[in-house]
Structure 1
């Protein structure tokens, strides 16, 4: 596992931000914060020379990432014995309209994490991971659910990847035209983009005396999703200490 006492990931040709070095970040605090504020990632890998990129839910424990899927999944069948993988997340913060096509852009926060993916096979570790698969998003929820059956556990595969290298890349610049273009009579603006939690839609078959559970307290209508996910992650892992 990556040295948890380190404060930043090592930098080499694999994870170094090639263009706009000023946007690159390698410290654990920045990388982990962006990972924890995301629910969905994309995992890239190669099978027999063919590239694939699979979207999936994921979560982080220290410098280790986990994701799950069906035991019959092509991704999970092939990402199990230490194959190289790259996991990415992106937060889109705005669309930027400039005075030239060249300077149109977006404000964003992203992470690329590199390592070797392995199948989680130890029964106790898998049990813990299946709990965290839910509780990472909804603190303490698993304890209020029915027990996972042996068949359900068998049908679910968990992959983990220790982060060997990672980099975050952040653009938060807004409109940035060439100096001479500011005098042009062309409209320009920044269009903020937000992922906001909507109004809950209870299951239509919910029993009449069942109230909304406390594990959903952080998911308030109108709240930023990233804030809710970050808080949920912090609450869940504070309970593990």
Structure 2
């Protein structure tokens, strides 16, 4: 992976797959930024990583997807927030996080079988165990969907962990400092009106 060294706090940068891939696999959404008609655009969307590429999808009629399938340069960002860092001074307030930035061009996937595979990868990422439970994807649904792949050749991660870094003269101040951990977790499933009398399947029972 290319070394896209940040201009500040380069010690927090990582360029190895062992750091980058787990962040991408944990995150559900990415933000894709690009320029079209001399105007900036940024779009949040679900994604999935498979091997050394990430995949996104959308309607064949989507202006967003039609622009990206041209192979224009994009910047893709993913961030996971782990904790609020509470320092003894407002200047040193921060956040523990894991992030990935990718520079790439979209590759339109034409192979219907690969498009179906992307549906499976994404479905299993979002709700593991559900692919074999739900109604199979129809051929016309595949045709109505554009799938784009982005290589991870130019990807870098940036990570902050640990406690506040206060100025030496502030360390003895009687002001509380530390971290407030953040957690994103799945809550118990809530049935819609059509599923009130359907037994919750094992893969949703947690």
Q: What is the TM-score of this pair, normalised by structure 2?
A: 0.91
Query: Using a 3 Å threshold, how does the CA distance of structure 1 residues 157 and 214 change in structure 2: closer, same or farther?
Result: farther
Query: Using a 3 Å threshold, how does the CA distance of structure 1 residues 179 and 80 change in structure 2: closer, same or farther?
Result: same
Q: Is the 8 A contact 1:83 1:118 kept in 2?
A: no
Q: CA deviation at 1:104?
A: 1.1
2:158 paired residue number: 169
1:84 to 73, 97, 116: 73
2:143 is aligned with 1:154: yes
Q: What is the alpha-carbon distance in structure 2 between the residues aligned to residue 45 and residue 125 of structure 1?
A: 25
2:24 is aligned with 1:32: no
Paired residues for 1:39-50 under 5 Å: 39-50=28-39
The farther-off stretch of 189-198 and 142-151 is 142-151
Q: CA deviation at 1:76?
A: 0.5
1:229 paired residue number: none
Q: CA deviation at 1:103?
A: 0.8
Q: What is the alpha-carbon distance in structure 2 between the residues aligned to residue 148 and residue 27 of structure 1?
A: 35
Q: Is the 8 A contact 2:34 2:42 kept in 1?
A: yes
Q: CA deviation at 1:135?
A: 2.4
1:186 paired residue number: 175
Which structure 2 segments of 5+ residues have no match?
none
Q: CA deviation at 1:189?
A: 3.0
1:195 to 181, 184, 188: 184
1:215 paired residue number: 203
Q: What is the TM-score of this pair, normalised by structure 1?
A: 0.79
Q: CA deviation at 1:184?
A: 2.3
Q: What is the alpha-carbon distance in structure 1 between the residues aligned to residue 86 and residue 40 of structure 2?
A: 33
Q: Is the 8 A contact 1:43 1:88 kept in 2?
A: yes
Query: Using a 3 Å threshold, how does the CA distance of structure 1 residues 40 and 212 change in structure 2: closer, same or farther?
Result: same
State the SS of the aligned residue for 2:22.
helix
1:234 paired residue number: none
Q: Is the 8 A contact 2:116 2:137 kept in 1?
A: no
2:99 paired residue number: 110
1:120 paired residue number: 109
Q: CA RMSD in A?
A: 1.8
2:64 to 75, 81, 100: 75
1:10 paired residue number: 2
Residue correspondences, number: 206
Which structure 1 segments of 5+ residues have no match?
1-8, 221-241
